[in-house]
Amino acid sequence: MELPKAYSGKRFVLFSHPGDFTPVCTTEFIAFQQRYEKFKSLNCELIGLSVDQVFSHIKWIEWIMEKFGVEIKFPIIADTGAMSEKLGLIHPGKGTNTVRAVFIVDDKGKIRIILYYPQELSRNVDEILRVVEAIQISDRYNVAMPANWPNNDLLKDRVIIPPAKDVATANSRLLKAKAGEFECYDWWFCHKKLP
């Protein structure tokens, strides 16, 4: 996948949509735009993609602005089909329409998360924003996130310390918990507050 050098060293979310001038895609683009500043605050750019032509993207964005007063400020790739084929985005049995895919890419150009949705099901943009933030925190602090983080039923906004990889680390876990470094249910299930 070849993207402009402007994205080199940046985190980004590349998301494909089945087609311009479709209702579900319109709601998604508005949702992405409404959260665009939050993505940018996480040093993460947004890039849309479909196999529609450039003039279609331009007219659709104008239509969104005219009807909803929302200016789409992130770029949309007008794919010839080459990138969509390479990434497996062409929906089987639906002509040339692309699936609703999401690729979350880190600042080293590594794809960290891939999500695929059928055409009939829209994405949860807040969930995409949540995982962008969670990956960054996980990388920065070497921790794991519990289910529904930061609103986990058991741990709330606390994070999980990755499991021990050797006996010495496993044996030291409960001692570190007693010293107040973190809390443990057992040596293999320890958690802490973020700094």
pLDDT digit string, tens, across residues 152-191: 999 999 999 998 889 999 888 888 888 999 999 998 999 9
Position 155, amino acid: L
Sheet containing 11-16: order of strands: 76-78, 44-50, 11-16, 100-105, 111-117
**Model confidence at 5, in pLDDT bands (50, 70, 90)?**
confident
* The domain over range 142-195 is classified in CATH as 3.30.1020.10: yes
Q: Which of 25, 44, 184, 190 is catalytic?
A: 25
* Distance, CA of 22 to CA of 119 (rounded, Å): 10
What are the boundaries of each domain within the chain?
A: 5-123, 142-195
44 tagged catalytic = no
Superfamily holding 5-123: Glutaredoxin (3.40.30.10)
Average pLDDT, the chain: 91
* Distance, CA of 120 to CA of 132 (rounded, Å): 24
The answer, yes or no, to whether residue 120 has pLDDT greater than 80, is yes
Residues whose CB is less than 8 angstroms from the CB of residue 20 and which lie 6 or more positions away in sequence, other chains included: 50, 52, 56, 57, 59, 60
**Model confidence at 140, in pLDDT bands (50, 70, 90)?**
very high
The answer, yes or no, to whether residue 46 has pLDDT greater than 90, is yes
